[in-house]
């Protein structure tokens, strides 16, 4: 962990504790990176909207590189960038993970969720995964089936 990353972690923990809801982990510490913190600050209102659409709870959002490796995420995962969200517990509002993902996708297409890149109904975990463009690139959101992130 670089000195800059240590400063980011200490500063964000002290000044922005509400952001902790966007770094849940069951695997010990999940320290912020500068990139992750920057993107979560930019996207947190959209994260909250997705949670509101689905109901349920966030199982994964920002992941440090170490946590991402521990949970078996792909190395270039948008979770490491602080630009992805996984939500489970949509069951009270939707019959299937596909229906839950479709509802988020429709809102993304309508433009209410910011620069969404992909919406993925994860069949294995039953989570709806949503990720967002970073670094200014955008194109229309995609609904992606049968992929793991």
User: C-beta of 81: minimal distance to Zn ion in Å?
Assistant: 12
CB-based closest residue to Zn ion: 129
CA 35/CA 97 separation, integer angstroms = 30
Candidates 129, 132, 134, 141; binder of Zn ion (CB under 5 A) is 129
User: C-beta of 23: minimal distance to Zn ion in Å?
Assistant: 13
Nearer to Zn ion, 17 or 130 (CB): 130
CA 23/CA 60 separation, integer angstroms = 7
Site for Zn ion in 105-124 (CB under 5 A): none
Does position 149 interact with Zn ion (CB under 5 A)? The reply is yes
Do 86 and 129 contact (CB within 8 A), yes or no? yes
Candidates 86, 113, 115, 118; binder of Zn ion (CB under 5 A) is 86
């Amino acid at each position: 962990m670089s000195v800059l990353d240590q400063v980011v972690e200490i500063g964000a923990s002290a000044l922005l504790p509400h952001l902790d809801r966007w770094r849940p982990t069951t695997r010990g510490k999940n320290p912020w990176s500068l990139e992750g913190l920057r993107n979560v600050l930019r996207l947190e209102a959209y994260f909250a909207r997705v949670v509101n659409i689905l109901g349920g709870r966030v199982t994964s959002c920002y992941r440090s590189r170490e946590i991402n490796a521990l949970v078996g995420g792909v190395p270039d995962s948008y979770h490491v960038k602080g630009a992805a969200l996984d939500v489970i517990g949509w069951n009270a509002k939707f019959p299937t993970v596909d229906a839950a993902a479709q509802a988020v996708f429709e809102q993304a297409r309508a433009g209410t969720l910011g620069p969404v890149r992909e919406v993925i109904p994860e069949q294995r975990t039953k989570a709806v995964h949503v990720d967002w463009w970073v670094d200014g690139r955008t194109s229309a959101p995609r609904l992606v089936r049968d992929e793991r992130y």
